[in-house]
Amino acid sequence: MLRGMSDNVSSGLMLVVSGPAGSGKTTVCDRMLATYDSLGRVITSTSRDPRPGEVDGVDYYFFPPETFRQMIANGEFYEHAEVHGQGRYYGSLKREIDAKISAGIDLLLNVDVQGAATYRLAAQNSDALRGRVVTVFIQITPEQVRERLATRQSDDEAEIERRIQTAVKELTEAPHYDHVIASGTKEEDFARLQAIYEAEKAARA
Domain ranges of the chain: 14-204
Residue 4's pLDDT is what?
A: 37
Mean pLDDT computed over 95-117: 93
CA distance 36 to 6: 12
Which residues fall within 8 angstroms of residue 165, CB to CB, at 6 or more apart?
none
Q: Tell me, what's the pLDDT at 149?
A: 86
Per-residue pLDDT tens over the stretch 123-136: 999 999 999 999 99
Summarised one tens digit per residue, pLDDT across range 107-124 is 999 988 988 999 999 999
pLDDT grade, residue 10 (50/70/90)? low
Please report the pLDDT score of residue 58 as a whole number: 93
What whole-number percentage of the chain has pLDDT above 70?
94
Q: 151-183 burial, b if ≥16 CB within 10 A, otherwise e?
A: eeeeeeeeebeebbeebeebbebbeebebbbeb
* In the predicted structure, residue 28 carries a pLDDT above the cut 80: yes
| pLDDT top residue among 3 and 26 | 26
Of the two residues 104 and 153, the one the predictor is more confident about is: 104
pTM assigned to the model: 0.85
The yes or no reply on domain 14-204 and CATH 3.40.50.300 is yes
Edge-to-edge order in the sheet of strand 106-110: 39-41, 106-110, 14-18, 133-139, 179-182
Q: How confident is the model at residue 79 (pLDDT cuts 50, 70, 90)?
A: very high
Q: Which residues 6+ apart lie within 8 Å of 49 measured at CB?
A: 62
pLDDT value of residue 168: 93
DSSP-based helix, strand, coil % in the chain, nearest 5: 45, 20, 35
What is the residue-wise DSSP string for 35-99? H-TTEEEPPPEESSPPPTT--BTTTBEE--HHHHHHHHHTT-EEEEEE-SSTT-EEEEEHHHHHH
What pLDDT band is residue 11 in, cutting at 50, 70 and 90? confident
What tens digit of pLDDT does each residue of 142-155 get? 999 889 888 877 77
